[in-house]
Amino acid sequence: TIYDRHVPIVEELIARTPYDAPAFWMDRSVTDFYAFTRDSFRLEGYQAHLLEAKIPVAV
């Protein structure tokens, strides 16, 4: 849910120029499903915008 207080932050986020999608890499030498580790996968070229604003939340 987006509340009124979130609108300026959301507008800023959607106005940003998106980065190119990252490439997904998987170690193809692994042939046993249970042998995969977290190092068997990678996102190459991933970029993210910094978020300077604090997003208010209700607790």
- pTM: predicted TM-score of the whole model, two decimal places: 0.60
Mind listing the pLDDT tens digit for each residue in 9-39?
A: 999 999 999 999 999 999 999 999 999 999 9
- Residue at token pair 């970029």: 47
Confirm if 45 and 25 have CB atoms less than 8 A apart.
no
Confirm if 59 and 41 have CB atoms less than 8 A apart.
no
Identify the CA nearest to 9 among candidates 51, 57, 58.
Answer: 51
- What does the alpha-carbon distance between residue 27 and residue 39 come to, in Å, rounded to a whole number? 8
